[in-house]
Structure 1
Amino acid sequence: MLKQRAVAGRLEAAAHGQVESLVRKETRDGKPFWELVLADAEAKITLRAWSDAPAYALCEELSVGVFLEVTGEFVHNGGFGLDAKRWAARELTAEERDTLLAGSPELREKQAADYGFIEQATIAVSDPRLRELAALFLGEYGARFRRAAAARGNHHARRGGLVEHVAQMMRSALAIAGAYPALNRDLLTAGVLFHDAGKLWENSLPADGFVMPFDERGEMLGHITIGIELVNALWRKVLATEAAATWGTLRPASEDVRLHLLHLLAAHHGELQFGSPVVPKTPEAWALHYVDNLDAKMEMMTAAYATSRSLAPRIQERVWPLPGNLVTPLEKFTPPDSTPPESAS
């Protein structure tokens, strides 16, 4: 998001993004300020315009959804997080907006590779019922899937974040299925694909912006319920195909396959207090829950290391919802140079 350069000891930067929120607030001392959240395809930054700064008047004229370039000196301002000193803004041109919406070349390449991996992993599913169910989902909802975020905050909270999350979970799940051969590999693959399918509505992003709207269906049902409803609807379509006429003798029975897949969706949060209507009751349900939690935590830590404030050498400030301060990871072992030293002359 930030294009930056150091000038005379200062960090000058320009950021392109869309105004996600704009709220007028007051400090504990009653000093008014504007808080502006700017989002792009990869991240969000929060800016503040204090009442004695030129940007304060600018914020009074802005509205949510506008695409901006913000320029200024970016610094960390104590408990207020990232701050920009003497910042200014202008509206992006149509060409600049289109470039921003496309995302960086690196992000586009990564998400395209992740989506391709998901397609290949589902094509490799042996059970024709789960394979056809996955193909129908990707065929009907692929574009929406590629825009959805995995969350509103915490992890993969960006356009295409759900694809990244599902792809990495699928890599982990396939590795775990190799380590535990008793696991049903096909069921676990399908569970990963569909576990957050309800977020295509709960965390949907439009084709022309980065501002995630609130969805009435998402609010009233939540992504687990929506996902179960979606799988059932797709399952009925699959059973109505000509291919399904040959599935009557397959084992396990089709109804058992559907029920076990729905259990993975219902139980993937792991505990009732975290939103699952049931706790995991099969090996695949436990595997899915832990793979989901692992990928979320790894993403949270990556973001936290990049943004949190240093408290001491190799210690960084806690970032919610992680439970404690961060410590710099141990670097990977580098074997010593095996080349013998030159003999002394």
Structure 2
Amino acid sequence: MDDAADLELLTLTQLRQIAGPSPQPYRAHVQVDNRIEKQTAGGAPFLEVKLADAGDSMVWRVFDNNPLFHDARQLQRGSFIQLAAHWVDTGKYGIEPRQPQMRFLEDDEKQQLLSGDAELAERQRADYADIVAFVESVRDPRLKTLCSLFLEKHGDRFRRTAAARENHHARRGGLVEHVAQMMRTAVVIAGIYRTLNEDLLITGVLFHDCGKLWENTYPETGFSQPYQLHGEMLGHISLGIELVNKLWRDVMDRPEAATWMMLEPASDLVRMHLLHLIASHHGQYEFGSPVLPKTPEAIILHHVDNIDAKMEMLRRGYENGKELAPGIIERFRPWPVNVLLPLPSVTGLPEPALVKEEMMDALEE
């Protein structure tokens, strides 16, 4: 292999997009998320080392005949390494580094890695700004104060939490991306179905997965998503309900709460409707919701949540999936079937402004 320092530095997402059946030399900066030792069917030891960066993760399988087997066996969770290799897309097992060279990262390289991919970081900054703007648009002072208090107290943790461990937005800051897109969709729907309580819907979107701040969060300096006792014992729905009740009490203890006594609907009814949105957002008992959606806002929230999760899964599948035939992508977890590439929008038509101009000219004639 050429000098590793001369190789182009790529993110894991970029490696997935570029890697093919023929080996190509690149290097990646990653953090060790986990290391598990297993045995082949023949009894030989091998390692599964989960590696992660700001936007993606992969499993590096290191067999006992690999020159780096001993070094990889010593890797600790949280270690920062450079992996330079000839990268291959193996299909079933994803990308694989061939003839790898490994070293630990220097401090400045760690900081650069932790700052994340510039494009992803900018997108998440914009998403968070949109969330703040949506919160500012809430008219009900009780819900607006509740949302603002959440962002004030837990905004930093929110910004480093994933929306899931595997299936969708499973990356540092993924929950911010998910919530922002859900808010955009929910507000559009509320503009069509005018009887919906838009304030409640925006607030429900913000809080529906807030329990994941104690289930799917990342440490301040890393991409390893640890398991946490609260998340394992209670789950994010129960934790979300507990958090909202705590924040609600804090909001109602504020001096300005005295001016809300005459507001309708009554404050406790508003709180109960919000809790119902959190409790029912999975939509089905078998998916973990203790109750089914029973209000218009709860039904909309459930479907908006599901739509955004599914669209992210499709995006990932199109980006990383194996093309079985033109337009057909091999099924990927958790999708139950092969998926098809979408139909492109029509091209070759005049620009809308030109069509309008031609129509106006025709009317004048």
* TM-score bracket relative to the smaller structure: over 0.9
Deviation at 1:45, TM superposition (A): 1.5
Q: Which digits, 9 at most, give the CA deviation of each residue in 1:61-119, with x for residues without a partner?
A: 21211001111111122432221111121101000000110112211111111001000
- Corresponding residue SS for 2:92: helix
CA–CA distance in structure 1, aligned partners of residues 214 and 174 of structure 2: 14
1:49 to 49, 62, 75: 62
Q: Is the 8 A contact 2:19 2:87 kept in 1?
A: no
- Corresponding residue SS for 1:17: strand
In the TM superposition, structure 1's runs of 4+ consecutive aligned residues that sit over 6 Å from their partners are: 3-7
- Corresponding residue of 1:342: none
- Corresponding residue SS for 1:80: coil
Q: Is the 8 A contact 2:163 2:169 kept in 1?
A: yes
CA–CA distance in structure 2, aligned partners of residues 257 and 22 of structure 1: 47
- Corresponding residue SS for 1:54: coil
Does residue 257 (structure 1) correspond to residue 251 (structure 2)? The answer is no
Which amino acid in structure 2 is aligned with residue 238 of structure 1?
Answer: V
Deviation at 1:58, TM superposition (A): 2.1
- Corresponding residue SS for 1:175: helix
Structure 1 spans left out of the alignment, 5+ residues: 340-345
1:273 to 275, 279, 286: 286
Which amino acid in structure 1 is aligned with residue 163 of structure 2?
Answer: A
Does residue 284 (structure 1) correspond to residue 297 (structure 2)? The answer is yes
- Corresponding residue of 2:130: 117
CA–CA distance in structure 1, aligned partners of residues 338 and 304 of structure 2: 23
Does residue 32 (structure 1) correspond to residue 45 (structure 2)? The answer is yes
Which amino acid in structure 1 is aligned with residue 39 of structure 2?
Answer: E
Deviation at 1:276, TM superposition (A): 0.2
Deviation at 1:33, TM superposition (A): 1.9
Q: Is the 8 A contact 1:111 1:164 kept in 2?
A: yes
Deviation at 1:313, TM superposition (A): 1.9
Deviation at 1:316, TM superposition (A): 1.4
Does residue 220 (structure 1) correspond to residue 233 (structure 2)? The answer is yes
- Which structure 2 residues correspond to residues 69-218 of structure 1 after superposition, within 5 A? 69-218=82-231
Structure 2 spans left out of the alignment, 5+ residues: 1-10, 355-365
**Identical counterparts, % of pairs:** 51
- Corresponding residue of 2:5: none
Question: Residues 28, 308 of structure 1: CA spacing in aligned structure 2 closer, same or farther, 3 A cutoff?
Answer: farther
Deviation at 1:29, TM superposition (A): 3.8
- Corresponding residue SS for 2:47: strand
Farther off after superposition, 299-308 or 180-189? 299-308
1:229 to 242, 256, 274: 242
Q: Is the 8 A contact 2:31 2:223 kept in 1?
A: yes
Deviation at 1:139, TM superposition (A): 0.5
Does residue 300 (structure 1) correspond to residue 313 (structure 2)? The answer is yes
- Name the TM-score, length of structure 2 as normaliser: 0.89
Q: Which digits, 9 at most, give the CA deviation of each residue in 1:263-309, with x for residues without a partner?
A: 00000000010000000000000000000000000111111111122
Question: Residues 312, 139 of structure 1: CA spacing in aligned structure 2 closer, same or farther, 3 A cutoff?
Answer: same
- Corresponding residue SS for 2:139: coil
Which amino acid in structure 2 is aligned with residue 251 of structure 1?
Answer: E
- Corresponding residue SS for 1:116: helix
Question: Residues 135, 6 of structure 1: CA spacing in aligned structure 2 closer, same or farther, 3 A cutoff?
Answer: closer
Q: Is the 8 A contact 1:55 1:86 kept in 2?
A: no
Please, what is the CA RMSD of the aligned residues? 1.8
- Number of residue equivalences: 338
- Name the TM-score, length of structure 1 as normaliser: 0.94
Which amino acid in structure 1 is aligned with residue 170 of structure 2?
Answer: A
Q: Is the 8 A contact 1:6 1:12 kept in 2?
A: no
